[in-house]
């Protein structure tokens, strides 16, 4: 528990926490669309003076889709508890409006917590998270059942663990004396005990500006662990929302990058000359690019600025963590990839339309030629009818005009040129339909008017 009250009864941003709290954030490898009506994070966590900001931006925030309270003995770690006594854990599965899901485990510990034990506990819950259990079952299996998901649930690649030290651990981290010991302790927690003890005091962690008040508060973090000491509960929860947004945004960026590469591969490997199949390909790629643009806008950009909680405390932490995760550069690069993919699709669409227009023009020319030729060869049938209509010596009144044995030569002379012309016209139309080049360019440059054939080469 952290406490802190000003003289006028208003909660301070700083507070003295008695027990250690660790909040685990795990991205999940699935998309869970939020229900139409559900309680928001502001109804689950205490945000104090930050609450009005979060209420006004509630449409952007992730919403809980599952909330459970775990007894101390229900959460099992594959390597044991590392000497820490868990007093309870709150489990939440939250999902963004775009359906990106994150698992939150809010753990509280009884008694004093040793720094090295905390580091080991963080390492186990991060690197062996797939082996976490709920009761006697794997944690993810229970979550899948509770959420009613048809497919197996998996962890994503991104983890962030927020440590809010309490009791003696808090005092050690905020102490003025023995700077070397404090630096070594802080680095041990931030690096999850993965660095050797020798020289640990020389390792560096990110300390956001405006979040360090000697002896009162401390905020330090790496890519995967944050240590937030001396803050009141509403500030802790505000910092947790910031970290939640960063983890969700990073997961969206990774998914977007993979989807962009998949569409590029589909574009390169498509082998078809059918206009309908080319149009279907362009339609699929266009729909995919639209989804990528929505993901970048509403799954990343919405969480990487300070608009949700426009406060210096959260903004400093958000900016520092964003830089540590490299989200801004990744966002810019991904946006350029999607933009170039859009250009490729537009070029392919333009090439298709040009090829179809060229084909239609050739077909129209051929049809015009055929009509003119048919008009010219209409004379033989006319002469044939005139032949039967006159009283000539070659016409036998006792025989039918359909007697090919007698009049076959006359019929052949009249109709053979027309049949030959029809066959030639059919072949020309088929050739014009295929065109001199494919409707689907296969060169590296889809805008090239005449793509070069691919050749295989070894390297």
Could you tell me the residue ranges of all domains in the chain?
2-231, 249-352, 377-434
pLDDT at 452 over 50: no
- Whole-number pLDDT of residue 273: 67
Among 83-87, 257-261, 431-435, the range scoring the smallest mean pLDDT is: 431-435
- Whole-number pLDDT of residue 457: 41
pLDDT per residue as tens digits for the range 69-78: 999 899 999 8
pLDDT at 212 over 70: no
- Whole-number pLDDT of residue 441: 52
Query: pLDDT confidence of 454, banded at 50, 70, 90?
Result: very low
- Whole-number pLDDT of residue 163: 96
275: Cα within 13 Å, side-chain hemisphere: 14
Average the pLDDT over 87-101 and give the result.
92
Among 250-259, 274-283, 359-368, 369-378, the range scoring the smallest mean pLDDT is: 369-378
pLDDT per residue as tens digits for the range 26-46: 999 888 888 877 778 888 889
- Whole-number pLDDT of residue 447: 45
- Whole-number pLDDT of residue 456: 41
Residue ranges of alpha helices (H) inside 129-224 are 139-147, 167-174, 179-190
Cα gap 341→328, rounded to integer Å: 20
Instruction: Please give the structure tokens belonging to residue 445.
Output: 């440059």
Region for 111 from its dihedrals, namely left if φ exceeds 0, alpha if ψ lies in -120 to 50, beta otherwise? left
Instruction: Please give the structure tokens belonging to residue 350.
Output: 């333009």
pLDDT at 146 over 90: yes
Q: Which residue has the higher pLDDT, 348 or 393?
A: 348
Percentage of the chain exceeding pLDDT 90: 27
Average pLDDT, the chain: 80
pLDDT at 109 over 80: yes
Residue ranges of alpha helices (H) inside 191-274 are 233-269
Query: pLDDT confidence of 80, banded at 50, 70, 90?
Result: confident
pLDDT at 2 over 70: no
Among 83-92, 223-232, 308-317, 398-407, the range scoring the smallest mean pLDDT is: 398-407
Query: pLDDT confidence of 117, banded at 50, 70, 90?
Result: very high
Q: What is the pTM of this model?
A: 0.75
- Whole-number pLDDT of residue 381: 64
Q: Which residues of 141-162 are buried (b: 16+ CB within 10 A; e: fewer)?
A: ebbbeebeeeeebebbebbbbb
Query: pLDDT confidence of 451, banded at 50, 70, 90?
Result: very low
pLDDT at 108 over 90: yes
- Whole-number pLDDT of residue 68: 93
Q: What are the residues whose beta carbons fall under 8 Å from the beta carbon of 20, sequence distance 6 or more?
A: 108, 109, 113, 118, 163, 164, 165, 166, 167, 169, 170
- Whole-number pLDDT of residue 65: 92
Q: Which residue has the higher pLDDT, 140 or 286?
A: 140
Q: Which residue has the higher pLDDT, 354 or 442?
A: 354
Instruction: Please give the structure tokens belonging to residue 415.
Output: 């109709």
Q: Which residue has the higher pLDDT, 212 or 120?
A: 120
Cα gap 262→254, rounded to integer Å: 13
Strand partners, 109: 86
Average the pLDDT over 331-346 and give the result.
86
For the CA atoms of 239, 241, 246, 203, what is the dihedral angle to 10 degrees?
20
pLDDT per residue as tens digits for the range 385-400: 665 555 455 655 555 5
Average the pLDDT over 90-109 and give the result.
94
Q: How far is Cα of residue 379 from the mean position of the Cα atoms in its chain?
A: 69
């Amino acid at each position: 528990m952290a406490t802190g009250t000003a003289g006028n009864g208003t909660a301070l941003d700083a507070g003295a926490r008695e027990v250690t709290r660790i909040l685990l954030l795990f991205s999940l490898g699935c998309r869970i669309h939020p229900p139409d009506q559900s309680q928001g994070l502001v109804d689950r966590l205490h945000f104090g003076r930050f609450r009005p900001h979060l209420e006004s931006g509630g449409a952007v925030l992730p919403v809980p889709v599952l909330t459970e309270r775990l007894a101390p003995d229900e959460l099992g770690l594959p390597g044991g508890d590392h000497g820490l006594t868990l007093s309870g854990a709150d489990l939440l599965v939250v999902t963004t409006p775009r359906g990106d899901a994150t698992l939150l485990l809010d753990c509280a510990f009884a008694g004093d917590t040793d720094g090295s034990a905390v580091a080991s506990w963080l390492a186990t819950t991060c690197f062996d998270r797939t082996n976490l259990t709920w009761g006697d079952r794997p944690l993810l299996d229970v979550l899948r059942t509770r959420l009613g998901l048809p497919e197996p649930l998996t962890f994503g690649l991104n983890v962030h663990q927020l440590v809010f030290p309490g009791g003696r651990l808090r005092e050690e981290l905020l102490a003025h004396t023995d700077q070397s010991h404090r630096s070594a302790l802080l680095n041990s927690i931030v690096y999850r005990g993965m660095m050797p003890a020798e020289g640990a005091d020389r390792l560096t962690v990110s300390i956001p500006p405006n979040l360090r008040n000697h002896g009162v508060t401390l905020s330090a973090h790496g890519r995967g662990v944050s240590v937030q000491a001396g803050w009141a509960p509403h500030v802790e929860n505000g910092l947790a929302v910031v970290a939640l947004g960063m983890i969700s945004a990073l997961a969206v960026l990774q998914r977007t990058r993979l989807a962009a590469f998949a569409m590029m591969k589909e574009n390169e490997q498509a082998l078809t000359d059918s206009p309908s199949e080319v149009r279907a390909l362009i339609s699929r790629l266009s729909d995919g690019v639209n989804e990528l643009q929505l993901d970048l806008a509403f799954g990343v950009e919405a969480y990487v600025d300070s608009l949700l909680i426009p406060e210096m405390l959260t903004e400093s932490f958000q900016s520092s963590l964003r830089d540590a995760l490299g989200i801004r550069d990744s966002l810019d690069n991904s946006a350029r990839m999607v933009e170039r993919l859009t250009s490729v699709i537009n070029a392919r669409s333009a090439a298709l339309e040009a090829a179809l227009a060229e084909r239609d023009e050739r077909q129209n020319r051929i049809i015009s030629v055929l009509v003119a030729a048919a008009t010219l060869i209409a004379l033989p049938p006319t002469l044939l009818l005139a032949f039967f209509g006159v009283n000539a010596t070659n016409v036998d009144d006792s025989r039918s005009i359909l007697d090919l044995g007698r009049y076959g030569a006359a019929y052949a002379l009249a109709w053979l040129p027309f049949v030959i012309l029809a066959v030639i016209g059919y072949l020309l139309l088929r050739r014009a339909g295929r065109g001199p080049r494919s409707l689907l360019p296969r060169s590296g440059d889809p805008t090239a008017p005449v793509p070069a054939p691919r050749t295989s080469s070894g390297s």
